[in-house]
């Protein structure tokens, strides 16, 4: 099962042109083209397909369904400021995304699993919803009973830092204690995802 998920992630990464996992990144260095019989060929994408692909790239980086993405988009466009930037900032405040940024997991899928299996507390209470939105000032921590498990002992030693971006400034992380605080709302320019937000705005506004 894990092997199938891994192969799917590699194939999706090649199709979208962005590495979604460390394994996919290594694979794409050897085969930097799309999967399939005509992957090496040159194709001209329509304006619609370019915008669709950009939306899919952002959605894949957070590992969410289209219905979830659209709900966040509707909220983002109602807020003050630029809708595209709001979209990324709201997605980044998901609990699973922040668990990943803090270095408690190696991939977004692993971060979602960590949360879903009730290993994470927010302000001292267990939260098992990966989509839970963390608000500035809240403290997130791996629950004490889980901290002794091998996966978290490895994380506390900083073993995932080799494949993750630097910890963003909107997080205050104490990795040894497997704890972090969301200091403030993320700004789009700080969020380590690859996405042309204007293309995504145009896709949803069509």
Report the alpha-carbon distance of residue 32 to residue 39 in Å, rounded.
9
Segment 137-185, tens digit of pLDDT: 999 999 999 999 999 999 999 999 888 999 999 999 999 999 999 999 9
φ/ψ (deg, to 5) at 114: -60, -45
pLDDT of residue 66: 96
Q: Give me the residues paired with residue 46 across strands.
A: none
Q: Is 109 within a domain? A: yes
Question: Which residue in the block uniquely carries the two structure tokens 């889980």?
Answer: 146
- DSSP state for residue 80 in the 8-state scheme: S
Distances (CA, A) of 117 to 98, 127, 177: 16, 9, 19
Q: Is 133 within a domain? A: yes
Q: Is 167 within a domain? A: yes
Q: Is 86 within a domain? A: no
Element of type H or E holding 122: strand 120-122
Q: Is 126 within a domain? A: yes
Does residue 138 contact residue 181 with C-beta atoms inside 8 Å?
A: yes
Segment 91-136, tens digit of pLDDT: 999 999 999 999 999 999 999 999 999 999 999 999 999 999 999 9
Number of domains comprising the chain = 1
Q: Is 34 within a domain? A: no
Q: Is 32 within a domain? A: no
Torsion angle of the four alpha carbons 176, 110, 162, 139, in this order, in degrees rounded to the nearest 10: -40
Radius of gyration from C-alpha coordinates of the chain = 18
CATH number at residue 120: 3.10.290.10
pLDDT band at residue 46 using 50, 70 and 90 as cut-offs: confident
Domain that holds residue 101: 93-186
| Cβ density class 33-65: b for 16+ within 10 Å, e for less | eeeeeeeeeeeeeeeeeebbbbbbbbbbbbbbe
């Amino acid at each position: 099962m894990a092997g199938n998920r891994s192969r799917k992630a590699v194939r999706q990464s090649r199709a979208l042109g962005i590495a979604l996992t460390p394994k996919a990144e290594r694979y794409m260095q050897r085969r930097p083209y799309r999967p399939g019989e005509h992957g090496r060929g040159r194709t001209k994408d329509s304006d619609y397909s370019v915008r669709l692909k950009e939306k899919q790239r952002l959605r894949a980086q957070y590992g969410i369904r289209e219905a979830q993405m659209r709900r966040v988009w509707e909220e983002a466009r109602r807020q003050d400021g630029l809708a595209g930037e709001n979209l990324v900032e709201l997605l980044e405040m998901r609990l699973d995304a922040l668990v990943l940024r803090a270095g408690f997991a190696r991939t977004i899928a692993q971060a979602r699993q960590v949360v879903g299996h009730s290993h994470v507390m927010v302000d001292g209470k267990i939260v098992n919803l990966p989509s839970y939105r963390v608000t500035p000032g809240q403290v997130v921590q791996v629950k004490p009973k889980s901290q002794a498990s091998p996966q978290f002992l490895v994380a506390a030693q900083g073993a995932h830092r080799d494949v993750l971006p630097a910890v963003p400034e909107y997080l205050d992380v104490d990795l040894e204690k497997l704890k972090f605080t969301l200091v403030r709302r993320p700004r789009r320019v700080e969020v380590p995802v690859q996405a042309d937000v204007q293309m995504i705005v145009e896709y949803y506004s069509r």
